C-alpha cells in the first residue's frame, strides 16, 4: 500500500477486509495496513496470541501480524467486552 497523502491524524488503526454492509461490523481484518502508538495494548495482545497458537506447519500461522492472528485477537477481545 502506498499513501500519497500524509495522514498525521490517523492513529491506532487496522484495515477491515470484509464488512457486513448492514451492520458495518467487520468479519475479517487485513494486516496490510495497520498502525499503533508505541506500547499500545493490542500489539502485546497480538504477540501473546501469536506465541500461544503458533504452528509452523500451517499456512498463515508464520506471520506475527498475519490476518488470522489479528482477527482472532480482536474477535476474542470483542467477545469479552
**Each residue of 44-73: pLDDT tens digit?**
998 898 888 887 787 666 666 677 788 788
> Which of 66, 79, 80, 58 has its CA nearest to residue 28?
66
46 neighbors 52 (Cβ within 8 angstroms) = no
pTM, rounded to two decimals: 0.67
Residue 37 counted as domain residue:
yes
Residue 38 counted as domain residue:
yes
Pick the more confident residue, 64 or 16: 16
Confidence category of residue 40, pLDDT binned at 50, 70, 90 = very high
Residue 28 counted as domain residue:
yes
Total number of domains constituting the chain: 1
Residue 71 counted as domain residue:
yes
Residue 59 counted as domain residue:
yes
> Which of 53, 43, 37 has its CA nearest to residue 74?
43
30 neighbors 1 (Cβ within 8 angstroms) = no
Question: Which residues form the domain of 26?
Answer: 13-78
Residue 27 counted as domain residue:
yes
Amino acid at each position: 500500500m502506498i499513501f500519497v497523502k500524509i495522514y498525521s491524524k490517523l492513529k491506532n488503526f487496522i484495515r477491515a477486509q470484509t464488512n457486513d454492509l448492514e451492520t458495518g461490523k467487520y468479519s475479517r481484518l487485513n494486516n496490510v495496513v495497520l498502525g499503533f502508538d508505541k506500547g499500545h495494548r493490542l500489539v502485546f495482545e497480538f504477540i501473546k496470541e501469536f506465541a500461544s497458537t503458533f504452528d509452523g506447519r500451517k499456512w498463515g500461522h508464520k506471520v506475527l501480524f498475519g490476518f488470522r492472528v489479528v482477527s482472532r485477537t480482536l474477535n476474542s477481545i470483542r467477545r469479552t467486552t
